[in-house]
Structure 1
Amino acid sequence: MTSKETTAFSRTGLVAGMSAMGVVVLVSNIAVNFPINDWLTWGALIYPIAFLVTDLMNRIFGPAFARKVVYAGFALGVGLSLWFADQRIALASGTAFLTAQLLDIWVFDRLRRQSWWKAPLASSLLSSALDTALFFSLAFYATGLPWVTWAIGDYGAKLAMAAVLLVPFRAFIALLPQRFARDGAMADSSQ
């Protein structure tokens, strides 16, 4: 791939990552208002895709690039959520999202050179725990809603989704040229 193609690939990746992140945050913030049962909301099934986006950006482009996607996704997602979702949920989501996604990037980067599945799984499990604790306590404390059971159900769903999302993570990485699929090679080649 030429330098021009690499720059175009990076630009496309950045726009795709930022857009995906903003949409995932917005849809999750709306879906969290719709319980499936006393233990789970629809947001629990959608939000883990944000960790997939972050992990793909981190694997392909490196941690600095992934942080750009998170910051832009944060701004876009919170901005849209303030418009389309409850303000308390939007602010709780933004706080939890930014903190958890930055933890995800840090953990992923520390494990990136181990087996392909360890970095996305471990980073998602740890950051999902932080995200769940922050979001549900900030969004629903003192509302009278069953937020503790929702948080437990949400984290259980995030654990299951972290395992399930390993399949598309591996499939997407397998589609990339080998030099871009390993250890954030795009970040190394563009700096």
Structure 2
Amino acid sequence: MEAAVEKRQPRETAVERLARKSGEFATAFTRMVMLAMMLTPLLLAAILTVDIPMHAFDWMAGEAVGSRPSNWLTRGGFIMALAPFLVIIFARKYGGDEASRAVTASWGLAAIAVFAELSYLAPSLEDGDLPGVRYTVFFTASAMAAQYMAASIYDVVRGSLRWWRAPLYAALCAYFTYAIIYFPGVYAGSGAPWLNWLIGDFAVKALVALAFLPVYGLLRGSLKPKGGYGGK
């Protein structure tokens, strides 16, 4: 009987390791840029229309004029509410960590674009043309926090036998995070009924989250997760 011969894998040289790591970095960086280029236009569209009231959901309040969503919901706010859905799709395909990196990169690109535009328009701007500092800070903080929350919650819940749980819970947690940061931050002390608006905003966006589920269900088949997520 011939003695078993142990086969050893050839040891990777330093140059080969460097080449492999460089290739992995280039692939990951390219993917992050691709995802950021998908999310950034949505952020910019939201920022540019953040002061235009949206009346599409006013029917929900009936004759209660003070409770109509157009009192607080703008086109920009609604467009920004679509961003967590895109982040959820990123997280399904590439995982929550990569989706979060795409969020960070997207906001960086959006900030550069906004500052460039403001520099160009500065000579013609007048008082009142731009949102106040308080509004800008809390709108940005709440939107970013909501998107990070969507990526994190989706990663935690994914893998359930009920496919709809991860996207629905992620979206609802994202909208709740947005609401508890945005409304107190922007309206506290102003005399506005911001608590009622907070509840109304969450109700409107919960309906939007439910409407997203059929879209997510249709995309599941074509958005196979990368290795390590078991198709969930």
- Kindly indicate whether the alpha-carbon contact (under 8 Å) linking 1:124 and 1:162 is maintained by their aligned counterparts in 2: yes
RMSD, aligned α-carbons: 3.2
Check 1:133–1:27 CA distance in 2 against 1; reply closer, same or farther (3 A cut): farther
Q: Which amino acid aligns with 2:172?
A: L
Tell me which residue corresponds to 1:71: 104
In structure 1, the residue matched to 2:76 is: 43
Query: Given the superposition, is the C-alpha separation of residues 43 and 143 from structure 1 closer, same or farther in structure 2, using an over 3 Å criterion?
Result: farther
How far 1:72 sits from its partner (Å)? 1.3
Moved more, 164-173 or 55-64: 164-173
Q: CA deviation at 1:93?
A: 2.2
CA–CA separation in structure 2 for the residues paired with 1:138 and 1:79: 24
The alpha carbon displacement at 1:96 in A equals 1.1
Query: 1:12 offset after TM fit, Å?
Result: 6.2
Cα distance, 1:126 vs structure 2 = 1.3
After the TM superposition, which of the residue ranges 65-74 and 151-160 deviates more from structure 2? 151-160
One-letter code of the match for 1:28? A
Instruction: Give the unaligned 5+ runs of structure 1.
Output: 1-5
Q: After superposition, where does 1:175-186 map in structure 2 within 5 Å? A: 175-176=222-223, 181=224, 184-186=225-227
User: Counterparts of 1:151-190 in structure 2 under 5 Å?
Assistant: 151-176=198-223, 181=224, 184-186=225-227
Cα contact 2:183–2:194 (8 A) shared by 1:
yes
Deviation per CA, 1:102-130: give whole Å up to 9, x if none. 22222111111012211110011012111
Identity %: 21
Alignment of 1:66-145 (within 5 A): 66-80=99-113, 86=131, 87-114=133-160, 115-143=162-190
Contact 2:84–2:146 (CA under 8 A) maintained in structure 1: no
Looking at secondary structure, tell me which structure has more helix per residue.
1
TM-score by length of 1: 0.74
In the alignment, residue 97 of structure 1 is paired with which amino acid? A
Equivalent pairs, count: 178
CA drift of 1:69 comes to 0.9
* Structure 2: gaps (5+ residues): 1-23, 59-67, 119-129
Answering whether residue 44 of structure 2 is matched by residue 26 of structure 1, we say yes
Aligned to 1:3: none
Which moved further from structure 2: 31-40 or 59-68?
31-40
Relative to structure 1, is the Cα distance of residues 30 and 143 closer, same or farther in structure 2, using a 3 angstrom cutoff?
A: farther
Q: For the residues of structure 2 that align with 1:174 and 1:130, how far apart are their CA atoms?
A: 29
Matched AA of 2:33: V
Q: TM-score normalised to the size of structure 2?
A: 0.63
Distance 1:92 1:120, change over 3 A: same
Q: CA deviation at 1:67?
A: 1.1
Q: Greater RCO between the two (CA within 8 Å, min separation 6)?
A: 1
CA shift for structure 1 position 13: 4.8
Which whole-Å CA distance do the structure 2 matches of 1:147 and 1:29 have between them? 21
Pair 1:127–1:92, CA change in 2 (3 A): same
Q: Which has the larger radius of gyration?
A: 2
